[in-house]
Amino acid sequence: MSSSLNACVQAMKWVLVVFNVLILCAGGIAIGLGAWGLASEYGAEKMRDLTGTEFYRGGAIAIIVGGSIMVVIAFLGILGAVLENRVLLGIYFTIVLLLLILFVVAVVVAFVYRDELEEDITSRMTDTVLYQYGVNLNSSKENRDITNLWDDLQKNLHCCGVKGRLPNSSGSWFLWQKSKWFEEQKQIGNVILKYVPESCCNTNYPDTLACTSVNTEPPFNKPVQLDNTKVTQESDQLYYKGCYDQFTAHIREHILAIGGIALAIVICMFLSLLFAICVCANIRSKKMIV
């Protein structure tokens, strides 16, 4: 009986080691993803300027911290299992349990407050379009950065403005007609007004004037128009979808992969808890038998 119990302890011990090697790898990947989120072209620093929220930066830092903690607890789990040390396994169990609870709470909070978060982000993005884009560029570095960021965002995400699409485009391409950038053009007395920035234009069509000016060719249901409610048909020359919509669509394209990774991490953590309990109990039983 002692021999079979010892074999059971050994089996569970090495299963726990394997699970912790997986957690160690997941932690390393999380650190890399968090660092990429901070440093990438549309990383957390730039998104903070655009959205006025620390959500993306805080999320990236949280991923890095979480990944680092995963690496530490993985080492604890591996050492505790290999050395059959109940103290290390107890510390490991406590940390993993707390992380699992925090993870579940974070997911629930993010789900509950998702509408408020979306409203805050789109409101800030709208303000940068209305009051900062293309305004006082010589004297305001922040406005220059905002302007460059919007141009890059619209070119690369193939979007225009903040939120909306046909037929409701009041917050997408039509939003630019309400901006200080547009009003300053009228005050200067430009002969040819730009109703949207050139970064809203499809680069496959070199005639940006046709894109940024009011569409005068019938039927008059394509942007750009002075009345967005009359626009019901998209234009090949203009990116008509809002950038927030395009960004969230890009996230949704990868939501299954993101959700799968998150679920796999939760399952690994939960199984690690079970195996840690079993190994601790069996170590105690083995010592009592011996």
**Phi, psi (degrees; rounded to nearest 5) at 238:** -120, 135
Q: In angstroms, rounded to a whole number, what is the distance separating the alpha carbons of residues 64 and 35?
A: 7
Domain limits of the chain? 2-117+259-289, 124-245
Q: In angstroms, rounded to a whole number, what is the distance separating the alpha carbons of residues 23 and 95?
A: 13
Q: Are the C-beta atoms of 49 and 146 separated by less than 8 Å?
A: yes
Q: What pLDDT, on a 0 to 100 scale, did the predictor assign at position 290?
A: 45
Average pLDDT over residues 165-177: 83
Q: In angstroms, rounded to a whole number, what is the distance separating the alpha carbons of residues 83 and 77?
A: 10
Specify which residues 199 forms β-bridges with: none
Distances in Å between the Cα of 168 and the Cα atoms of 130, 165, 199, 241 are: 18, 5, 21, 10
Tokens of 123: 């409101």
Q: What is the pLDDT of residues 69-90, one digit of tens each?
A: 888 888 888 888 888 788 888 8
Taking the complete model, does pTM exceed 0.75, yes or no? Answer: no
Q: What is the pLDDT of residues 89-107, one digit of tens each?
A: 888 888 888 888 887 787 7
State the residue for tokens 């303000």. Answer: 127
